[in-house]
Structure 1
Amino acid sequence: MSARLVEIIVPDAEVPRTKAIIAEHCSRFWQEAVPDGLEKFSCVVPSRSIESLIAELDDNFKNVAGFSVLVLQVEAVLPAIPELEEIAPFSSEECKPPSRLEIFFTRDRISTNELYDDIEASLELRPNYLLTVILSALIAALGMRSGQTAVVIGAMIIAPLLGPTMAMAMAATVGDKALGRKAIITLVTGILAALIFTYLLGMFIEVNPLVPELRNRSIVHPADIALALACGAAGVLAFSQGASLSLVGVMIAVALVPPIAAAGLFFGSGEEMLGLRALFLLATNLVCINVAGIVTFLVQGLPPRNWRITSGIFLIWLVILLLFVGLVGGRIVLGSDGPIYLPEDSLSAQQIAPY
C-alpha cells in the first residue's frame, strides 16, 4: 500500500479540532511547535485516505490564518502501520467506510490535488511546448514518409500532448470549466502548430500515399477505435498512479501525433481528401481518449463536483463516439471508400486499394 507524509500547520487554538480530524484518517502522527504561534502535525496517511483528509481539512480551516498542508511521497514505513494493509477504522459514525470495490480501485491513486499539480505546468502555452509539438510532428512525418516505424515511435516519446489531453478528461470528470477551457486552448494550439509546419513540409518534399505508414493514417479501422480507447484508459490509469509522464505521453501520442503529421503532409502535397481522412482519424482518437479517460477516472474514484455536469459531458462525448462508429461501420458495410488515385505525375498507374 502506498502512503503519503502529510504535514499540517494550524494555529495553536485549532490543535484539538485538528487532532480529531487526523485521528479519523490515520493512526500515526506527530506534533511539534513552530514559530508564530503555530503547530505542525506530521501524519503517515494511506493514499486512499488523502482525498478525504485534505477535503475535510480544507472545509474546516481554509479561512484560518496560518493554515497550510504539504503532501510528500513516502518510500517506506517502519514499523508497519495497520491501516496501510487493511481498511482503516472510521471513528466517526457519519463517515461511511469505503467498500471493498472502492478500496480496490482507489488504493493506488494519487490525490486530486497531486493530479492538478502534475498537470498544471503542462498546460502553459510556452515556446518549449510549441517547439516540442512541432518537432515531434515533423519527425513523425518524416518517419512515416520513409516508412521508418522506429522514427515515428521516437517522435511520440517527445510529444508533449499528454498534459492538455489528460486535462480535458480530468476537467470533464470533476466538472472544472476553467481547467477544460485551458486544456482545449493548449491542445488546439499545439495541433494547429503541428499541422502548419507539416503542411509546409509536405509542400517541399515528395509524399507517396502508398507508403503503409501514411496509408494507415488515412482511414479509420475498428481496430483504431479500440486502440484509442485502450490508450486513453491506460494513459489515465498510469497518470493517476503517478507513473512517469514520458511513459503516459507515449500512450497518448501514439493516437494523436501520427494522424496530425499525416494530415499536414497530405494537405501540403495536394491530397486534400486524404488529409481530411487523417483529421477524421485524429478526431476519432481524441473522442475515444476522452471517453475512456472519463470512465477510468470515475472508476478510480475521482470525485465529480457536479454529477449533472460530468454525466452531461460524458454523454456528449459518447454520442459523438457512437456517431463516428456508425460512420466507420457504414463505410465497411457499404464499401463506400472506393479506390484513390495518385496524382498523374507520380505513379499514376497505381492505386491505393480500398482498406
Structure 2
Amino acid sequence: MSARLVQIYLPEDQIAQLETILPRHTRRFWRETLPGAQEKYTCIVQQRYTERLLIDLEDAFAAVPSFTTHVAKLEAVLPAMEEGPATELPLMSGLAPPTWLERFFSRDRLSTDELYDDIAESLHIRPSFVLTVTLSAIIAGLGMRGGQVAVIIGAMIIAPLLGPTMGLALAATVGDWKLGRQAFATLALGCVLAIVAGIVIGMIVTIDPLTPELRNRTLVQSADIALALACGAAGVLAFSRGASLALVGVMVAVALVPPLTAAGVYTGAGLPAAGANAMFLFTVNLVCVNLAGIATFLFQGLPPKSWRMTTGIMLGWVLLLGLLIAMMVGRILLGFGAWEGVFGNFSASR
C-alpha cells in the first residue's frame, strides 16, 4: 500500500472549509490545536488521491499567508488501507470517473509537487553539476575508446543529465515555461561540457575510430529510435514512482551521454563527419526521449495546465521526429549513413 502523511497548517477561521475538502480525499484525519490561533490537520492519504488533495488545498488556501502543507511518505499503516473499488473515494462533481487504464497507471505515481521537488535541485547550475557532467563524459569517452561496456555503464550511473531531461519533459507536460527554460539551459550547458570533454580526449588520446563502441554512435537506425523511445518511457515510469536515480539515470543516459561524448571524441581526433553523425544520433535520441516522456506523463494522469499548449508541444516534437526520420532515410539512400564512407580515408591509410 502506497500512502502519504499530509500535514496541513491553517488559521482557525479556515477550518470549516478544510473539513469539507478532506472527506473527499481521505477517511483518516485528525485535528490538533496549536498556539497562535492555528490548527494542524494530519491526514493519511492513499497515493492515488494525493494529487487531487493538493490541488484542492492550493485552490482554496493559496492566498492564506499562514497556510502550509507538508507531504511525507509512509512506510506502513495499521490498520492497512486497502485500495480497490470498494474503498474508492468519490470524485468531485462534474468529473468523469477514471477508466481502468487511468486507474492502473496512476495509482503509484508521485504527485506533481513531489516530482517538482525531486527535479528542482538537479536543475541548478552548480560546480558539482559541471564536475559530474565532465567526469561522466570523460569516463564514457575512455570506456568507448577501449570498448569497455562496463565503464560506459558506470558513466551513465553518474546520471548528470537526468534532472534536466526529466525537467524538460515535465515542463512540457504541465505547461510550465519557467521550469522548461531552466531545464533547457541546464541541459544545454551539460551537452556543451560533454562535447568539450570528448574533444579534449580526442585531441590528447590516440583512438581507433572503428572501435565498435565508438562507431555504433555514428549510426542511426530504426532500432535506435525504438531504443530512445523505450528509454524515455521507462525513465519517466521509474522516476514518477520514486525509483533509484541510478536506475533512471542509466535509462536516460544510454541515449544521451555516449553519442554526445562520441561527437566530441571524433571531432577532436580530426573526424568531423563522424562527429556530425554522432550529434545526429544524439538529436534523434533527445527528441525521442522527450516525446516518450511527455506521452508517459500524460498516460499516468499528470494534469496539464493547458491541453492546447501540451498538445502543441507534443505535435512539435512529433513533427521534428518525422523530419529527422526523413533525413535518416535520405542519408541511408544517398549512402551518407554508411560508416565506410565516414571512415573511408582512415580505412585506406591502415
Q: Shorter chain as normaliser: what TM range? A: over 0.9
Structure 2 CA distance for aligned equivalents of residues 84 and 8 of structure 1: 26
| 2:256 paired residue number | 256
Determine which structure has the larger helix proportion and give its number.
Answer: 2
Structure 1 CA distance for aligned equivalents of residues 121 and 269 of structure 2: 36
Identify which range, 170-179 or 62-71, moves more after superposition. Answer: 62-71
| 2:133 paired residue number | 133
8 Å Cα contact 1:156-1:253 kept in structure 2: yes
| 2:55 paired residue number | 55
Structure 1 CA distance for aligned equivalents of residues 343 and 93 of structure 2: 72
8 Å Cα contact 2:273-2:342 kept in structure 1: no
Identify which range, 98-107 or 265-274, moves more after superposition. Answer: 98-107
| 1:195 paired residue number | 195
8 Å Cα contact 2:137-2:155 kept in structure 1: yes
Q: What is the CA distance between 1:92 and its match in structure 2?
A: 5.1
Structure 2 CA distance for aligned equivalents of residues 347 and 310 of structure 1: 48
Percent identical residues = 53
Residues 88, 154 of structure 1: CA spacing in aligned structure 2 closer, same or farther, 3 A cutoff?
same
Render the CA deviation track for 1:105-140: whole Å, top value 9, x for unaligned: 110001000000000000000010010100110111
| 1:105 paired residue number | 105
Q: What is the CA distance between 1:100 and its match in structure 2?
A: 2.4
| 1:298 paired residue number | 298
Q: Which runs of 5+ in 1 are unaligned?
A: 351-355
- The reply on whether 1:235 has 2:243 as its aligned counterpart is no
Render the CA deviation track for 1:227-273: whole Å, top value 9, x for unaligned: 10000000000001111111101111111111011111100011000
Counterparts of residues 304-319 of structure 1 (less than 5 Å): 304-319=304-319
Render the CA deviation track for 1:23-70: whole Å, top value 9, x for unaligned: 111111111111211111111111111111111111111111321100
Residues 69, 177 of structure 1: CA spacing in aligned structure 2 closer, same or farther, 3 A cutoff?
same
Letter in 2 for 1:11: P
Structure 1 CA distance for aligned equivalents of residues 2 and 342 of structure 2: 57
Q: What is the CA distance between 1:85 and its match in structure 2?
A: 7.0
The SS at the match of 2:218 is coil
| 2:176 paired residue number | 176
Identify which range, 289-298 or 328-337, moves more after superposition. Answer: 328-337
| 2:120 paired residue number | 120
Q: What is the CA distance between 1:328 and its match in structure 2?
A: 2.1
Render the CA deviation track for 1:188-227: whole Å, top value 9, x for unaligned: 0011011112212211111211100111001111111111
Structure 2 CA distance for aligned equivalents of residues 342 and 321 of structure 1: 27
Identify which range, 11-20 or 230-239, moves more after superposition. Answer: 11-20
8 Å Cα contact 1:341-1:348 kept in structure 2: no
Q: What is the CA distance between 1:330 and its match in structure 2?
A: 3.1
8 Å Cα contact 2:28-2:44 kept in structure 1: yes
8 Å Cα contact 1:82-1:88 kept in structure 2: no
Residues 193, 92 of structure 1: CA spacing in aligned structure 2 closer, same or farther, 3 A cutoff?
closer
Counterparts of residues 1-355 of structure 1 (less than 5 Å): 1-82=1-82, 86=86, 88-90=88-90, 93-338=93-338, 339-340=340-341, 342=343, 348-349=348-349
Length, aligned pairs only:
349
Structure 1 CA distance for aligned equivalents of residues 342 and 281 of structure 2: 20
8 Å Cα contact 2:335-2:341 kept in structure 1: no
Q: What is the CA distance between 1:322 and its match in structure 2?
A: 1.1
Letter in 2 for 1:99: T
Structure 1 CA distance for aligned equivalents of residues 165 and 39 of structure 2: 40
Structure 2 CA distance for aligned equivalents of residues 99 and 172 of structure 1: 24
Render the CA deviation track for 1:54-93: whole Å, top value 9, x for unaligned: 1111111111132110001011111123457755232754
The SS at the match of 1:230 is helix
Residues 342, 81 of structure 1: CA spacing in aligned structure 2 closer, same or farther, 3 A cutoff?
closer
| 1:353 paired residue number | none
Q: What is the CA distance between 1:149 and its match in structure 2?
A: 1.1
Per the normalisation by structure 2, the TM-score is: 0.95
The SS at the match of 1:217 is helix
Q: Which runs of 5+ in 2 are unaligned?
A: none
Q: What is the CA distance between 1:343 and its match in structure 2?
A: 8.1
Per the normalisation by structure 1, the TM-score is: 0.94
8 Å Cα contact 1:119-1:167 kept in structure 2: yes
8 Å Cα contact 1:218-1:274 kept in structure 2: yes
8 Å Cα contact 1:4-1:44 kept in structure 2: yes
8 Å Cα contact 1:26-1:83 kept in structure 2: no
Structure 1 CA distance for aligned equivalents of residues 329 and 265 of structure 2: 27
Letter in 2 for 1:73: K
Letter in 2 for 1:321: L
8 Å Cα contact 1:222-1:328 kept in structure 2: no
The SS at the match of 1:43 is strand
Render the CA deviation track for 1:281-325: whole Å, top value 9, x for unaligned: 010000000010000000001111011111111111101111112
8 Å Cα contact 1:173-1:294 kept in structure 2: yes
